[in-house]
Each structure stands twice: as structure tokens, then as C-alpha cells.
Amino acid sequence: MVVLGTIVRNGRTQLLVAPITHTPPERPEDAVEIPANVRTHLGLDRAPCWIVVSELNRFIWPGPDIRIAPGSDCPFYDMLPDWLFIRVRKALARQVQARRLKITKRTE
């Protein structure tokens, strides 16, 4: 998952995240592919994967929906390169403009 932002409500932190999937999107505008060199840098496996920009998730932090990254003591692998994050942000903006963005509350 890619953390896009945080929200603090009633003293509880919520993360807004875009999921990462190995399943190619049905519509290209619904996801941004993570290039092989970035997957390697992040410690992801070699299989092609995409950041979903049509369906975001909202989690309570800390909470049961967030797990520790393999070989780490925290749930974060690393940061996306700026150029890729900008591409994700622009794709999200297009989803919002088209009124196609769905946000699912995952905790509680």
C-alpha cells in the first residue's frame, strides 16, 4: 500500500492508502504501474504490480489492518520516488474529477 495522507479524528490517526496489486487493472486509468527498478528499490517481489488509484482504503493507525514489512520493525518499505508519487497524485486527481474514486473504511 502507498500512504497518501493521514487524518487525526477524535485523537485517532487514520491513514489514507492506495493498495498495491499484482492484478493488472481492467482500465489503465485505474492504476499506475510500479516500474521494475522501483519494485527492486522498495524490496517488492519481481512480479509486475500496480498502485490502485480508483479505490483507496482508510485504516486506523496503529490497528489490525497494518502489518510489519518483512525484515523490518515497521510497516513501511520505503518512499516512492518523487516522479512516481507525482504520477500517482495526478492519476488520483483524474479519478476525483471523473467522480470515480471510492474510499473504503477498513478498520472498526
pLDDT per residue as tens digits for the range 9-59: 888 888 888 999 999 999 999 999 999 999 998 888 899 999 999 999 988
pTM for the complete prediction? 0.84
User: Using CA atoms, how far apart are residues 14 and 53, in angstroms rounded to an integer?
Assistant: 18
CB-CB neighbours of 11 under 10 Å: 5
CA gap 66, 10 in Å, rounded: 20
Please provide the average confidence, as pLDDT, over all residues in the chain: 87
Cβ(56)–Cβ(102) below 8 Å? yes
| Cis peptide, bond prior to residue 64, ω within 30 of zero | no
* The pLDDT of residue 60: 83
Q: What is the pLDDT of residue 108?
A: 59
The reported pLDDT for the residue numbered 95 is 95
